[in-house]
């Protein structure tokens, strides 16, 4: 199985630069690109059913990714997939790296810093290079 590049996004302003870097690497190394959006399922609307909350979060993520795809990936010769997953960011990354061989993990600096404590442990046993995009 060919190695993939995992790009973690949170749909902040820096996500576009992070995805651009990952897409460029994917084209350069002819690697598949997996765009990962990990999120927490926290109730914000009182009375909202968890199933409805998950559906809403997934729909929002799909809409936001479609905009990123259009601005960054359109016209590039890059194979990619998008996955939004419930859970802690480091848990979702670890789960992915156990399933597929990873060439690079690409993440924005702001997202890394917001989750710094959990990333310290992940970085200690990550078997692929971590690229931090400013």
What is the model's pLDDT at position 86? Answer: 95
Domain 4-133 has CATH 3.40.50.620: yes
41-98: pLDDT as tens digits? 876 667 778 888 899 999 999 999 999 999 999 989 999 999 999 999 999 999 998 8
Q: What's the CA dihedral at 117, 120, 126, 131 to 10 degrees?
A: 90
Does pTM top 0.85 for this prediction? yes
Distances in whole angstroms, Cα of residue 36 to Cα of each of 10, 45, 47, 62: 9, 25, 29, 11
What is the model's pLDDT at position 61? Answer: 97
Q: Where are the beta strands (DSSP E) in 1-134?
A: 4-8, 32-39, 80-86, 102-108, 130-133
Domain boundaries, the chain: 4-133
Q: Is pLDDT larger for residue 21 or for residue 124?
A: 21
């Amino acid at each position: 199985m060919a190695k993939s590049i995992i790009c973690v996004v949170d749909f902040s302003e820096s996500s576009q630069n992070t995805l651009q870097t990952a897409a460029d690497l994917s084209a350069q190394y002819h690697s598949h690109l997996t765009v990962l959006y990990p999120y927490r399922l926290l109730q914000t609307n009182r009375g909202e059913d968890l199933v409805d909350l998950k559906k809403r979060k997934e729909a929002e993520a799909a809409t936001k990714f479609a905009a990123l795809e259009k601005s960054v990936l359109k016209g590039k010769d890059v194979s990619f997939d998008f996955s939004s997953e419930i859970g802690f960011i480091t848990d979702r990354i670890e789960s992915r790296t156990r399933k597929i061989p990873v060439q690079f993990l690409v993440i924005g600096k702001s997202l890394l810093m917001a989750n710094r404590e959990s990333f310290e442990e992940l970085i200690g046993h990550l078997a692929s290079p971590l690229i931090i995009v400013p």
